Structure 1
Amino acid sequence: MKHTQQSGAKVYNPFTLSLYDWWVLNISNKYAWKCPTDTRLLPFFLHHMGETHLDIGVGTGYYLKHAPATHAISLMDLNPDSLKIAASRVGNTKIRATLQHDVFDTFPADWHGRFDSVSMYYLLHCLPGEMTTKAKAIKNAGMALKPGGTLFGATILGKEVPHNAFGKKLMAVYNKKGIFSNTNDSADTLRSVLNEHFAKVTLEQHGAVALFSATMPRSL
């Protein structure tokens, strides 16, 4: 599968996105992944978000709508429907730019060194390949940071995590359909990739979800 033909991105259309908040952010996060949106994921997002922010893999824009009005937000996604819906939800007063782009491809030059923070929420587990392959996306995201900026995100792990019956079922279905590609993703492999590209890394695990932050990109 080519990176530009990711099933994980193609699954999102206006209909599936209309169900996203209910199914993913409410039902799945609470009952399958055991990492509630309101008490874990949203506070982590807002804590690490800077005044100039790039969100990669935008979903419906749920987290971004909670950003302070003074923040300047840019959006990047492979899926045009996600970009449109997220931009509409967040509003023109906060949105500075949108870019339909494959995270595996080098970012445009004027997006390098541009942001105080970059988020990758529920993106990595949708990207094809092993974590070592996904490292390219992490490297590219790091190049978008200003000096002192922070890359942060959340991803569902497939290995060495306590999946319940609901989570195991979703994992099997999503990986079979190509929506997820995270069977071998573990906290250790994620930490290793982050440490390869950043000098300072934090990682915490809640249920089946890893929440991470990284600063001080190494020479890229």
Structure 2
Amino acid sequence: MYPEGASGHSVYTRFTLAVYDWYMLGVSNRFVWKCPTERLVAHFDRHVTDNHLDVGVGTGYFLDVCRFPSDTPRIGLLDLNPCSLARTSQRIARYKPEVFWRNALEPIELNGDRYDSISLNYVLHCLPGTMQEKAVVFDHLRKHLNPGGTLFGSTLLHTGVTRTPVARRLMNLYNRKRIFSNRDDDLEQLKAILEERFPHSGIEIVGCAALFWARA
């Protein structure tokens, strides 16, 4: 079902998704990565619009708790993992999201209009390949962004950030198990990738997480 190197996506089963919010967003973010989930939610609220595409949807936590500008946003969900898509679409069923089973590393074809915002939270560090190889995701997604729209998200970096001993050990373990693939992920590379593709961009470092945004 999953292409080679997609372990970072396939690890999210019904069981792991059931504990994800507690373990990753509750425990790991605060005590390991040193980036409390509240900071990620604030970043999401700052950039989300009511015409939004979420890529790498996880459990749908951010879409569930964020503050959309209107009560009837148009939301698209894009992921390679059908379990994540099912859980998220059910969680935010009140918004009647459009669901796209797609691989963001490949050219993306979508029906309908472009989006004013696209989010990519905790996706890059799970994708296989070098930072430059992962950058193709930005090329594929910006084609679905309206002029003036914002692509934003977060990722855990390996170098260019401060990692605690616990974060280093856990990150190394995840890389060995191919849950993460971020040994080549560097802050300066991320900055360059965004600046090469977008006229305006920025990155905030919180712990070993990079909270980024880029405007078309």
TM-score for both structures, normalised by structure 1: 0.92
Matched length: 212
**Corresponding residue for residue 194 of structure 1:** 194
* 1:3 to 1:133, Cα distance in 2 relative to 1, 3 A: farther
Secondary structure, aligned partner of 1:190: helix
After superposition, the CA RMSD in angstroms is 1.4
Cα deviations by residue, 1:159-192 (Å, 9 ceiling, x for unpaired): 1221112211210111001111111211111011
**Matched letter for residue 140 of structure 1:** H
Distance 2:25 2:5 in 1: 25
Cα deviations by residue, 1:25-84 (Å, 9 ceiling, x for unpaired): 01110011100002x100100110011100000000000002433221110000000000
Within-5 A mapping of 1:39-118: 40-67=39-66, 68=68, 69-91=71-93, 93-110=94-111, 114-118=114-118
Secondary structure, aligned partner of 1:63: helix
What is the identity percentage for the equivalent residue pairs of Structure 1 and Structure 2? 41
Secondary structure, aligned partner of 1:138: helix
Within-5 A mapping of 1:1-220: 5-38=5-38, 40-67=39-66, 68=68, 69-91=71-93, 93-110=94-111, 114-216=114-216
Residues 60 and 87 of structure 2 are in contact (CA less than 8 Å); yes or no, is this contact kept in structure 1? Answer: yes
Distance 2:56 2:107 in 1: 16
Quote the offset at 1:3 in angstroms: 5.0
Residues 126 and 181 of structure 1 are in contact (CA less than 8 Å); yes or no, is this contact kept in structure 2? Answer: yes
Secondary structure, aligned partner of 2:210: strand
Secondary structure, aligned partner of 1:110: coil
* 1:86 to 1:109, Cα distance in 2 relative to 1, 3 A: closer
> Where does structure 1 lack aligned partners over 5 or more consecutive residues?
none
Quote the offset at 1:22 in angstroms: 0.7
Quote the offset at 1:96 in angstroms: 3.0
- Range with greater deviation from structure 2 (67-76 or 56-65): 67-76
Distance 2:143 2:74 in 1: 18
Secondary structure, aligned partner of 1:85: helix
Distance 2:206 2:3 in 1: 29
